[in-house]
Structure 1
Amino acid sequence: MTTITVYGSTGMVGSDITREAAARGHRVIGVSRQESPDNRVDGVTYVTGNLQDTADVVAKAADTDVLVISVPGPRDGSSVQPVIDAHAALVPALAGQDVRVFVVGGAGATLTADGTMLVDTPDFPEAYAAEARSFAEVLDLYRAAPASLDWTMLAPAPEIGPGAPAESYVLGDDHPAGDSVTTGTFARAALDEIETPAHRRTRFTVADA
């Protein structure tokens, strides 16, 4: 049984990852700002925590096999820099630790066929631009991480929303694997990767088939 600790366990994506991990019989620890969130999943142990508290994240990582980070930057116009800074501090702090870091990325930082980031294409929504660029910076941090850091980033298709898993899914590398994906499909792909690692120290993408 794998111990999986999920930061952002009550968010749109993180809650489905938490639910999928628990359904598969893993020991799951959900981390959020509230110890008793409204959308609790049966069988999950909930604790409080903040991704920006590096020492606490490292302490929690010492008691887990996989550390899932599903914490996007804010979309309310406030700075996304605290999330970037949190990852910048965690990369060296977790290097060499016996834990796998699984980061939920963003579609806006994936690439079109000609290598342009989606966030830099003409029709990309401005409201999501800062968040998308923050994911690009976070990815750069992990790509430059010491070889002793075991990490993976999974990014969704350009359109992601709540929903049950599709019958099947498709994977891509740095390019979108398709147009849309449900959070249920995303969670299933995340757990498949956690259980059977195939994308170590790289980013990949998922879409509904």
Structure 2
Amino acid sequence: MKIAVYGATGMVGSQIVAEAVRRGHEVTAISRKGTPVEGAAVVRAAELGDADAFREIADANDAVVLATSPDRTGGSREPYIAAHRAISTVPTTARLYMVGGFGGLATPDGTRIKDTPDFPALYKGESDAAFTAYEALRDAGADLTVQAPAAVIVPGARTGKYVTAVGVPAAGDTISSQDFAVAALDELEQPQFRGTFFTASN
């Protein structure tokens, strides 16, 4: 399979690249600076909001993984949202696979976790932006799957073991970025959650 990964040098994106390469897929690693990524067949620099570049990349791959995240340094998150709106207008046959946020999952009564009273204010803006970006792609009718992590995602061990749930949190509060990538590649290779907003946790 040919897989393009935006955000290929980040904590999650780099692990998705590594897992895809481990399984023998042809990977295009995309970052703003075009930083080399071990194992990638193609490395290129591109901004996610560059619709022409996105069209070219999507046309050349079977799946495009969106592993970018909203600004976490206090800057505006509008460019992140605008980038997703820009690519939502690009017709493509490639499957879009978005790394979503835990806050986009729902409680049993249907409330988004990001909108619950106990959700940390520190992460509220980031979660709102990530969900708005997801809505832009969803509403445009993209062949979109979103995988959210558990409440905590950190680098750790690749155990290959995880549990999943659709729309709501899965059992377990954490997941390693390595196992998140395992779940992502399992889904890309053998789809079970196509078109859903699902989550994986250890």
Normalising by structure 1, report the TM-score: 0.90
2:166 is matched with which residue? Answer: 173
1:114 is matched with which residue? Answer: 109
2:39 is matched with which residue? Answer: 42
Q: Compared with structure 1, are the counterparts of its residues 164 and 112 closer, same or farther at alpha carbon in structure 2 (3 Å cutoff)?
A: same
1:75 is matched with which residue? Answer: 72
TM-superposed deviation, 1:124: 2.3
- 1:143–1:202: 8 Å Cα contact kept in structure 2? no
Moved more, 104-113 or 184-193: 104-113
Residue 33 of structure 1 aligns with an amino acid whose one-letter code is: R
Once residues 182 and 27 of structure 2 are traced to their aligned partners in structure 1, the CA distance between those partners, rounded to angstroms, is 15
Percent identity of the aligned residues?
Answer: 39
RMSD: 1.4
Once residues 115 and 35 of structure 2 are traced to their aligned partners in structure 1, the CA distance between those partners, rounded to angstroms, is 39
Alignment coverage as a number of residue pairs: 201
Which of 99, 103, 108 is the matching residue for 2:94?
99
Q: Compared with structure 1, are the counterparts of its residues 135 and 66 closer, same or farther at alpha carbon in structure 2 (3 Å cutoff)?
A: same
Per-residue CA deviation, residues 116-172 of structure 1 (Å, 9 max, x unaligned), is 2222233322222111011221222233223xx311111111111111223411111
TM-superposed deviation, 1:43: 4.4
Per-residue CA deviation, residues 62-88 of structure 1 (Å, 9 max, x unaligned), is 111100000110111111111111111
Normalising by structure 2, report the TM-score: 0.93
SS in 1 for 2:82: helix
1:137 aligns with 2:132: yes
1:58 is matched with which residue? Answer: 55
Q: Compared with structure 1, are the counterparts of its residues 65 and 72 closer, same or farther at alpha carbon in structure 2 (3 Å cutoff)?
A: same
The answer for unaligned runs of 5 or more in structure 1 is: none
Runs of 4 or more, structure 1, over 4 Å off, are none
- 2:6–2:65: 8 Å Cα contact kept in structure 1? yes
2:8 is matched with which residue? Answer: 9
